[in-house]
Amino acid sequence: MEPERRGLRKGGDSKESESWKRHIILQLKSRDSKQKSRFQDLIRSYVNLLERCSQKAFITKGILSATRPLLLPSSEDALSSLKTSTGELAYKVVELQQQIKIKEALLDKQHARLSEMENELGVVQLEQGRLQGSVAEVQERNQLLKSEYDALLEYYQNTDTVYRKEKLYGSELLEDMIRWKQQAAARMNSRNERRVRAREAGLHKKLEVAANKKLDIDEAPQSASLPSSPLSKRSESGERLERSHGRLFRSASATSPRILNSLRDLFERKRRGNSVCSLEEDLYTPLGICLAARVPAKAIYSVDAHEQGINAVRFSPRSALLATGGTDRVIKIWDIKAGVLQNRGTLDGSNEGITSIEFDSTGTRILAASYDKSALFWRLDDCVPKFTLTGHSRKVTAARFKCNLKQVVTGSADRTVKIWDLHRAACIQTIEVLSYCSDVVCSEYYIISGHYDRKIRFWDSRAASCTQEVPLQGRVTSLDISPNHRELLSCSRDECLQLVDLRMSNTRMVFRAEGFKCGSDSTKAIFSPDGCYLAAGSADGAVYVWNVSSGELETRLSDMHRCSITAVAWSMSGEYVVSVDKSRRAILWSDV
């Protein structure tokens, strides 16, 4: 018990400041007092028994020494009884000692467990201190983050306020701009109407003079075509001028210089204004004439026309201008003078590369397709697009004027062909064409599209339905329609060109040549302006020209391009051919 007290006293002295230790000490003391009170009676009884035993032993020793000779038998009985009582007491003492040892072992175990708990408590206290430090750090970081969040929230609120003000200001500016544009458009329309009325009056007088004018010609033209005019009337002598839109003059009698000069005097005039709405002017513009195209024989001029590769090239119907478009996002206009390409200007506005170019029949407007999912419309007297046709979800691969010049057809990689109204600059019809569309051509009622699924499809634009499919052996890269609108030329990745008879809708002739190979999925092949020849560029940098009548290769123009040719163009006069390639070079070819 004494070691236990010392242990408790030592523990109490070292940890008096901690309440839980004091509580344990108090419990131990209470248990000690309870157990000690139980053993006090045993200890006192044991001491009394020892004293009595010692007294009895002393008395017995004296009695035995005094009365040994006389009372031997009786003394033996007393001794035996004394031994009996002493043994019982000793047995009880032994039992009590064993119980004391057991209690001391239990107490030692309790002390060991108490020390273990103290050690664990120390470790837990250290961990608690560490966690409290971590909590303090986290709280400090949270406070910093909260301060930053409050600052960002305040900045956002201020920025949002500024944004709303700017948005309101922008909407006001847009409304003002729309109002100004409407007023400017009204003024422009008024001026155009006055010009048209004045032109109609002048044209009416000229038509009357021309109708009364007598011409001496040996053979009268049987089908001379004049541009259709809503203003032409019957002449006083009853003669009537025939009108049509889609054909070039081809008969020798119709191309008499005296007739042509008379017609030119009637219809040539200086174009004024920038409005795209006065489409009536186009009806009176003379068309280009080609009696016979000449097969080019040599390169007469070479120029790096763009900063990057060139994708498209096109001559104007009057053969005076050439347009090229490339991946540098611009269209460049060129004059051909004395066998030299002279840069006349640049048309900007596209956000990505140009994929195709087409002039209208007047040669004053340009339509281009672009990689930026749109088609753009320019007038040559303005370098900024008049408007942009947007609505496709992927790049626009082709854009063409319809025969009436009031509508435009575009083909796209998004597997659609769209028809647009130029008056409203809006899509009026969308045709699902089932496959990637690489090129389109148009007639009055039909749209013809070429596709990556190796098919040419004929669409009725009035019903948006496919009327016929012509299968090929390779991906279609380009389409072109003959000047007489009777034959369709296709170029495909099976390294050949094919003619399709539009009257029979079947393949008429296949054109191949050793070494000819399509360099890309957008390689362009074309008719000559008289329809007698075909021209296409090859991956080996050569221009191949075939004769339509014989089907044989007419010539191969090489040694000028360094890489694959993407497109070729043939002037309406039949005198020049221009080829362009991916390395930004343009080559002018001629027969002299």
> What's the pLDDT tens digit per position in 412-432?
999 999 999 988 889 999 999
The model's pLDDT over 548-562, given as tens digits with 9 standing for 90+, comes to 999 999 999 998 998
Any residues with CB less than 8 A from the CB of 393 and at least 6 apart, and which? 373, 412, 414
Q: Please indicate, yes or no, if residue 164 is contained in any of the structural domains.
A: no
| Contact between residue 373 and residue 395 where contact means Cβ atoms under 8 Å apart | yes
CA distances from 366 to 31, 318, 362, 380 (A): 111, 14, 10, 7
Q: Which domain holds residue 205?
A: 190-284
Q: Residue 236: pLDDT above 90?
A: no
What is residue 74's predicted lDDT score, i.e. its pLDDT?
52
* Claim to verify: residue 440 and residue 508 sit in the same structural domain: yes
Structural domain ending residue among the three candidates 240, 262, 284: 284
Calculate mean pLDDT across residues 153-180. 89
pLDDT bin (cut points 50, 70, 90) of residue 162 is very high
Q: Please indicate, yes or no, if residue 262 is contained in any of the structural domains.
A: yes
CA nearest neighbour of 267 among 213, 212, 203: 203
* Claim to verify: residue 217 and residue 313 sit in the same structural domain: no
Which is more confidently placed, 573 or 449?
449
| Contact between residue 400 and residue 408 where contact means Cβ atoms under 8 Å apart | yes
Calculate mean pLDDT across residues 359-381. 92
What is residue 288's predicted lDDT score, i.e. its pLDDT?
53
Q: Please indicate, yes or no, if residue 568 is contained in any of the structural domains.
A: yes
* Claim to verify: residue 308 and residue 276 sit in the same structural domain: no
* Claim to verify: residue 532 and residue 559 sit in the same structural domain: yes
| Contact between residue 224 and residue 185 where contact means Cβ atoms under 8 Å apart | no
Dist. CA 15–CA 282, nearest whole Å: 110
Q: Please indicate, yes or no, if residue 381 is contained in any of the structural domains.
A: yes
* Claim to verify: residue 411 and residue 556 sit in the same structural domain: yes
| Contact between residue 277 and residue 295 where contact means Cβ atoms under 8 Å apart | no
Least-confidence region, from 29-38, 490-499, 518-527, 576-585? 29-38
Residue 312 is part of a domain; what is its CATH number? 2.130.10.10
Strand-strand pairing, 506-511 and 525-527: unpaired
What is residue 72's predicted lDDT score, i.e. its pLDDT?
44
